[in-house]
């Protein structure tokens, strides 16, 4: 789907927040950092479905190291614009993460509850290392104390769609990220 200046879902209007070019450049920069940190290793990248799929795909294409991929699906939003705070496991890991270098790829971190849940779950599997990469991080919205190892963009606390992020499962397939107009 080509980049439009605005998008409409139901009667909500969205405007471009992060362009396709900005996404490509930041993704390449993150891939270079990860390739340097994991030189000589083959980490396993775990994409958090559905939102992280486009970012994960573009990220691993830019790596200069070997890697594996796996997916997990959790939900805290449903069809709402605000996280419920309740984490539901929908699809569990397929790979054995014991003794592996694990890099979890998220689309967005706001409350941090999903990351905290995944951190506890993966640490119980005793990986060799565990890092988190998030395309977006909302300012001032964390409800738990945690650090994200790699962040693409820090954004204001606004509702966003596009490039994997959705509203009612729509507009994931855009090349840019859009924020709700006020």
Give the integer Cα–Cα distance in Å for 62 and 75: 28
Instruction: Provide the β-strand partners of residue 104.
Output: 46, 132
Identify whether 92 is a catalytic site residue: no
- Tell me 135's DSSP state: E
Among candidate residues 101, 107, 110, 166, the one labeled active-site is 110
Three-state secondary structure call for residue 133: strand
Which residues, 6+ apart, have CB-to-CB distance to 35 below 8 Å? 63, 64, 65
**Dihedral angle, C-alpha 71, 75, 77, 79, nearest 10 °:** 80
Give the integer Cα–Cα distance in Å for 78 and 166: 10
- Tell me 31's DSSP state: H
Structure tokens at 104: 């979890």
Query: 164: alpha, beta or left, given left = phi > 0 and alpha = psi -120 to 50?
Result: left
Catalytically annotated residues = 110
């Amino acid at each position: 789907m080509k980049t439009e200046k605005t998008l409409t879902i139901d009667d909500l209007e969205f405007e471009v927040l992060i362009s396709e070019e900005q996404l490509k450049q930041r993704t390449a920069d993150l891939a270079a950092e990860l390739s340097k940190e994991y030189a000589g290793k083959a980490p396993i990248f775990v994409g958090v479905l559905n939102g992280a799929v486009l970012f994960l795909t573009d990220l691993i294409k830019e790596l200069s190291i070997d890697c594996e991929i796996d997916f997990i699906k959790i939900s805290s939003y449903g069809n709402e614009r605000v996280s419920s705070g309740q984490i539901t496991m929908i699809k569990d890991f397929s790979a054995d993460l014991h003794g592996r270098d694990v890099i979890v790829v998220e689309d967005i971190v706001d409350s941090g509850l999903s990351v905290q849940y995944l951190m506890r779950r993966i640490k119980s599997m005793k990986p060799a290392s565990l890092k988190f990469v998030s395309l977006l991080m909302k300012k001032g919205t964390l409800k738990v104390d945690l650090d994200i190892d790699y962040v693409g963009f820090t954004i204001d606390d606004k509702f966003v769609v596009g490039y994997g992020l959705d509203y009612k499962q729509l507009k994931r397939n855009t090349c840019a990220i859009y924020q709700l107009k006020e």
